[in-house]
A and B are shown apart, each in its own frame.
Chain A
Amino acid sequence: MNVTRINVNAQRCIGAGQCVLIAPEVFDQTDEGTVTVLADTVDGSAQGVVREAVRACPSKSISLTEG
Chain B
Amino acid sequence: MPTSDPISIEFPTRRRGQLSPPDEYAELRARPGLVKSALPNGSTVWLVTRHEDVRTVLTDPRISASPTHPGFPTIGRNGTVPHPDQIPGWFVAYDPPDHTRFRKALIPEFTVRRVGELRPAVQRIVDGRIDAMLAGGTTADLVAAFALPVPSLIICELLGVPRTDRELFESRTQVLVTFTSTDDERDAAAQDLLLYINKLIAMKQRFPGRDLTSRLLRAGVLTPKEISGVALLLLIAGHETTANNIALGVVMLLLNRQWINAPGVVEEVLRYLSVADRVALRVAVEDVEIGGQLIRAGEGIVPLGASANHDEGTFGHAEQFDPSRSARHHVAFGYGVHQCLGQNLVRIEMDTVFGTLFRRIPTLELDQAVEDLPFKYDGVLFGLHALPVRW
Contacts and interface: CB of A to CB of B under 8 A. Distances in A.
Contacts of A17: 110-112, 343-344
Contacts of B335: 58
Contacts of B339: 14, 16, 58-59
B328 A55 contact: yes
Interface string B220-245: 00000000000000000000000000
Given A55-B328, A55-B329, A56-B329, A15 B337 contact: no
Nearest to A20: B112
Contacts of B333: 16, 58
Residue with the highest number of chain B CB atoms closer than 10 Å, among A17, A29, A34? A17
Contacts of B59: 60
Given A15-B107, A15-B110, A33-B110, A59 B336 contact: yes
Contacts of A21: 112, 344, 347
Contacts of A56: 328-329
A15 B104 CA distance: 8
Nearest to B314: A55
A31 B108 contact: yes
| Dominant secondary structure at the A interface | loop
A32 B329 CA distance: 24
Nearest to B99: A14
Interface string B312-338: 000000000000001011000111110
Interface in B336-377: 336-337, 339-340, 343-344, 347
Given A14-B337, A56-B328, A59-B337, A32 B104 contact: yes
A18 B108 CA distance: 14
A22 interface: yes
Contacts of A59: 336-337, 339
A62 B198 CA distance: 39
B87 to A, nearest CB: 21
B31 interface: no
B83 interface: no
B-side interface size class: 20 to 34
A17 B334 CA distance: 14
B57 to A, nearest CB: 13
Contacts of B111: 15, 17, 20, 29, 33
A20 B111 CA distance: 9
Given A20-B112, A22-B328, A14 B103 contact: yes
Contacts of A34: 107
Contacts of B103: 14-15
B210 interface: no
B206 interface: no
A40 interface: no
Interface in A36-67: 52, 55-56, 58-60
A56 B339 CA distance: 11
Contacts of B109: 33
A17 B104 CA distance: 13
A32 B113 CA distance: 12
B344 to A, nearest CB: 5
Ranked 7 nearest A-B pairs via Cβ: A33-B107, A15-B107, A58-B339, A56-B328, A29-B111, A17-B112, A33-B108
30 contacts: A14-B107, A14-B337, A15-B107, A15-B110, A16-B340, A16-B343, A16-B344, A17-B110, A17-B112, A17-B344, A18-B328, A20-B112, A21-B112, A21-B344, A21-B347, A29-B111, A29-B113, A31-B108, A32-B104, A32-B107, A34-B107, A52-B328, A52-B329, A55-B329, A56-B328, A58-B336, A58-B337, A58-B339, A59-B336, A60-B59
Interface of A: 14-18, 20-22, 24, 29, 31-34, 52, 55-56, 58-60
Given A33-B106, A58-B336, A59-B339, 5 more contacts: A29-B111, A31-B108, A55-B329, A56-B329, A58-B334
